[in-house]
Chains A and B, each alone.
Chain A
């Protein structure tokens, strides 16, 4: 292993411990100010959907406001701080992708892209311009709330020191995982498809390499996509991920089971 890689790993470990530290800080903040609702802006040109989304978000304790286009969004963002934007791609005038790119120039606010086309190209384009997540119409209430919750939690839990988000790839045992596109490439360069939950799980493991993570903690970190959350579903998820990573063929599996505690990613992770 060369010096640069070693330095990278060292940095990554430092960052990981920062992250964990910050998480507890954030938890304290939330605990001290429990009744400050988070502000979510819904950008949607269909009045009916906009009204319903705002209503559902409000019923679930968020401070939601709806706008119909980019101009109104800018106005509102100038007037009030915002914690999350739900951004439709098909908008009159400036479309959602352009708008997302424009917001990213001066803000790191979490953005969830919404598209009615449900095409792979839309998802990639959205992530490309800096969106954090992507949801395809028509979606249900629970899916919406899960995504919103996940993004808000990520924004607070995983808030990282500025400037460290530059690395897009996490490299381990020849595999490369793209954080932004949530894409896993095998050592041969082949794309390995992962379900959303498996992506979250892998990312959680990659961010804490060589450390034992308890089942509950793993569940918490990855909760976003696991529906019927239970210890068992984590085990199922881990075994699915192992199969796709070819762990069954290895004498020493990458993801190790620590009996009675949880799991550990037993390989080094480099940022690249």
Chain B
């Protein structure tokens, strides 16, 4: 990771690096294309053979009559090299004007050093039967004549317009692709930051990743600071509410004891009922505030928990039926489970006359339903039903309570990794169904 030290630290600097890289890549691509179209077809092997062919031809011609020289040369031609003998030639040398020819000449001399300093004339002409090009030349003999030759093919056909355009487009495409990858790497820290920011919302601070260019780091620091300040405000408010609720318990306790000393039975009972309401309010505020503290899952008998709560409601005078197994063992966070179920039952008993509770297990999931024959919640209000301190229908507020029941349930269920949905019960009222994962691992 040492190379990173050489990267510019700012976003602008890094964008500049990417841009520069892209332009250099495009330039390199163009050069490569040009080079490729002008590359000759003479392999080292062919060059060597051709050079030797020339020298052999010269040696053969040295003791032959000029009259039969042309025929002899004609007999010596090979598949790709045509040879002829002429006493004089109009062929001139173009190799000092064309770098490709100059390179060929150098290679021929390197292959056969005897050619050095000799009269070797090279030219390029169009092939007779194709778009390719041949090497046409003359080799001056010491006795004044020339061996002329034609090497075919020497160069590929010059590229057409369409292939040229397509090749350049391919180069551009490649450069764009590589540049995009670089740009992706450049903005990846921003994405990571956005993902971290999206996770903000629980009670725990989310660490903002401090990576990438200077500007992104600044943003991460700013977001982290903002999160800390918001969390501190929320925490302060929560603590205030929790402290208030705790502190209310002492005066409620005093009032409850004092009320029990009253001689007037009616006053005593109504005060006790009012104090019950206050206590429930305080209790539900505390339960809501503690909702996201979830203990480790323990193997418990969920049916026994449900039975205890249902029996409790029965003893308090409710018409409530439990349908489910007598024993259902699963590893769940016990307090959260009990909190969720007891609030659902309390809610149902408050709004309905008859309440049904069911408990079932499908593989890996515990399903609990609580339904009542009360007024229910209209479908358009169901999403709002989980908001704390909110009563959907003024009529539903009549039963008292802090309006926290479903909010507490939702918090507890979410903390257990499950979820809750609301529907319409066959009894006519609300149907609340919670599903929580049953940990397969048994302690």
Interface positions of A (Cβ within 8 A of B): 46, 48-49, 52-53, 55-56, 59, 116-118, 120, 137-142, 186, 188-195, 227, 240, 243-244, 246, 248-249
Contacts and interface: CB of A to CB of B under 8 A. Distances in A.
Interface stretch (B119-127, B143-151, B219-227, B252-260): B252-260
B300 A49 contact: no
7 contacts: A46-B250, A46-B253, A55-B261, A140-B257, A140-B260, A141-B257, A192-B300
Given A52-B257, A186-B327, A140 B272 contact: yes
A117 B307 CA distance: 25
Interface of B: 246, 249-250, 252-254, 256-258, 260-261, 272, 275, 279, 283, 286, 298-301, 303-305, 307-308, 311-312, 315, 326-327, 329, 334-335, 338, 442-443
B299 A138 contact: no
B249 A49 contact: no
B326 A137 contact: no
A248 B300 CA distance: 19
A194 B308 contact: yes
The 3 A-B residue pairs whose C-beta atoms are closest, nearest first, are A141-B260, A138-B253, A52-B257
Given A116-B250, A190-B299, A52 B261 contact: yes
Contacts of A46: 250, 253-254
Contacts of A249: 326
B267 to A, nearest CB: 15
A189 B299 contact: yes
Contacts of B311: 195, 240
Contacts of A120: 335
A251 to B, nearest CB: 15
Contacts of B257: 49, 52-53, 56, 140-141
B250 A243 contact: no
A142 B253 CA distance: 13
Given A191-B299, A249-B326, 19 more contacts: A46-B254, A49-B250, A52-B254, A52-B261, A56-B261, A116-B249, A116-B250, A118-B286, A138-B253, A140-B272, A141-B257, A141-B261, A186-B301, A189-B443, A190-B301, A190-B329, A193-B300, A195-B308, A244-B326
Contacts of B286: 118
Nearest to B299: A190
Contacts of B303: 244
B261 A188 contact: no
Contacts of B258: 52
Given A49-B250, A137-B253, A194-B304, A186 B260 contact: no
A140 B329 CA distance: 35
B329 A193 contact: no
Given A190-B299, A193-B308, A246 B254 contact: no
Nearest to B327: A246
Given A56-B257, A56-B261, A188 B304 contact: no
Nearest to B283: A118
Contacts of B335: 120
B254 A48 contact: yes
Nearest to A52: B257
Contacts of B275: 138
Contacts of B442: 188-189
Contacts of B443: 189
A249 B328 CA distance: 13
Contacts of B260: 56, 140-142
Task: Identify the interface centre among B252, B256, B272: most chain A CB within 10 Å of its CB.
Answer: B256
A189 B252 CA distance: 39
Contact of B334 (A142, A191, A194): A191
Given A56-B261, A118-B283, A49 B254 contact: yes
B329 A246 contact: no
Given A191-B298, A191-B300, A116 B261 contact: no
Given A48-B254, A139-B253, A116 B246 contact: yes
B230 to A, nearest CB: 28
A268 B411 CA distance: 44
Contact of B307 (A142, A188, A190, A244): A244
Contacts of A240: 307, 311
Contact of B279 (A138, A194, A227, A243): A138
Contacts of A59: 261
In this complex, which of A188, A193, A240 has the most chain B Cβ atoms within 10 angstroms of its Cβ? Answer: A193
B356 to A, nearest CB: 17
